[in-house]
Structure 1
Amino acid sequence: MVRIKHRYLLVNILYPDAKHSQLAPATKPGDNVPYTVQFRRPSPDQMNGGLLMRLIRDGVVELFGDYGSGKIAGSLQVVKYFSSATSTAIIRVSREHYRLVWSALTFTTRLPRPVDQPCVFQVVRVSGTIRKAEEEAIRRARLSIRRAEAAAKSSSVSIAGTASTTPTAVAAGEDDFDMIHGIEDPDEPGDMDVDDDG
């Protein structure tokens, strides 16, 4: 018996906005948002798993037509996990066709109505198990918190005038190396093709 294998895509939804960009001058002291959290905002209340599924299916149809739609129809399951607070989702799709979903997300630049907001989908990890995708989401959330704290600390020091105005970065460690290099897990040991003759 052949087991159907899936891939789990860990996706961040980023919301670029001109008024929050680093190039725009800060008008109030509270407007000085650290660079590490500028685009990582909570999703609107109207954003949910159903809207995300519709967005992916429409994107695959637009890029690959009926062929792509038919390939992902049986295995696409968007809402394994969706958090509007962290704008993070875990999407399940068959191992053979996860690149179709990935490319549809890459070419998406705007959320559909009723949200109707510019966005960027960032696939940060492709994994063979949902557990690995969840662990990566937790690791990235912790890393983002550390970076935001470091940026806030450096900006408060530079406001006091005791340091330069250049924000300091978190020292690159193993977490940063993993984040920059390679986002796809090799097959898990239990994820091997096994043909059962009996």
Structure 2
Amino acid sequence: PPAARRRFLLCGVTASKLPGTRVALQALRETVARTHGDYGMAALQRGFCVMYVNANTGIMLLRCQKSHYRLIWSALTFFSSFKRAKQEVQCSFSCVHVGGTMRTCQRFLEQYRTQWLHRMPPECKTDGETLSFLLSTCNLVELEDDEEEKEDE
């Protein structure tokens, strides 16, 4: 769909290990189907995808049509697990921002990260600890998960 008809959902994901983009996409589609039935599945046919996953921060960026973002957002509350290597991994989603462009989501994430850095734990005494903390708060990074998913199958 044209850019004006898209919405981007910036989600925080709580899980022991984040799924790759394909695994996440399949699990999200199953959740929408369970929650909203055939109508939900039809809504996902155009434009829905997992754009980015940041395994360090637990951030995931989803793209969908503007007319259906609330449907997907509501289904996220019912997401409880995904299958990885024949095991179910418990996880939960929380939508932290809805934007019209990836850039607005990135700006929100930068502001959020800046606020978080001001609350940086005093335990970061050495440069290495600070660097480790800063790296864990990096921008959205596209995850190269092709090989990772092949291992899961």
TM-score by length of 1: 0.55
User: Larger strand proportion, structure 1 or 2?
Assistant: 2
Would you say 1:105 and 2:85 are equivalent positions?
no
CA RMSD, Structure 1 to Structure 2 (Å): 2.4
Would you say 1:44 and 2:17 are equivalent positions?
yes
- Any residues of structure 2 matched to 1:146-165 within 5 Å, and which? 146-149=118-121, 152=123
Q: Where does the alignment leave 5 or more consecutive residues of structure 1 unmatched?
A: 16-42, 154-198
Structure 1 range deviating more: 97-106 or 137-146: 137-146
Q: Where does the alignment leave 5 or more consecutive residues of structure 2 unmatched?
A: 125-153
Task: Return the match for 1:121 from 72, 89, 93.
Answer: 93
Using the TM superposition, give the Cα deviation of residue 125 of structure 1 relative to its aligned residue in structure 2, in angstroms: 0.2
- Any residues of structure 2 matched to 1:17-96 within 5 Å, and which? 44=17, 47-78=19-50, 80-96=51-67
Identity %: 27
Paired residue secondary structure (1:118): strand
Aligned residues: 123
Distance in 1 separating the partners of 2:110 and 2:62: 16
Using the TM superposition, give the Cα deviation of residue 4 of structure 1 relative to its aligned residue in structure 2, in angstroms: 5.4
**Contact residue 13 and residue 94 of structure 2 kept, 8 A:** yes
Amino acid of the structure 2 residue aligned with 1:127? G
Paired residue secondary structure (1:53): helix
Distance in 1 separating the partners of 2:118 and 2:90: 27
Would you say 1:7 and 2:4 are equivalent positions?
no
Using the TM superposition, give the Cα deviation of residue 111 of structure 1 relative to its aligned residue in structure 2, in angstroms: 2.6
TM-score by length of 2: 0.70
Task: Return the match for 1:138 from 89, 104, 110.
Answer: 110
Using the TM superposition, give the Cα deviation of residue 131 of structure 1 relative to its aligned residue in structure 2, in angstroms: 0.2
Cα deviation code 1:73-97 (max 9, x no counterpart): 111021x221111111111100000
Distance in 1 separating the partners of 2:4 and 2:21: 23
Distance in 1 separating the partners of 2:39 and 2:28: 14
Distance in 2 separating the partners of 1:125 and 1:142: 16
Distance 1:3-1:121 versus aligned 2 partners, 3 A rule:
closer
**Contact residue 31 and residue 75 of structure 2 kept, 8 A:** yes
**Contact residue 11 and residue 122 of structure 1 kept, 8 A:** yes
Cα deviation code 1:161-187 (max 9, x no counterpart): xxxxxxxxxxxxxxxxxxxxxxxxxxx
Using the TM superposition, give the Cα deviation of residue 122 of structure 1 relative to its aligned residue in structure 2, in angstroms: 0.9
Amino acid of the structure 1 residue aligned with 2:29? R
Paired residue secondary structure (1:90): strand
Distance in 1 separating the partners of 2:75 and 2:27: 9
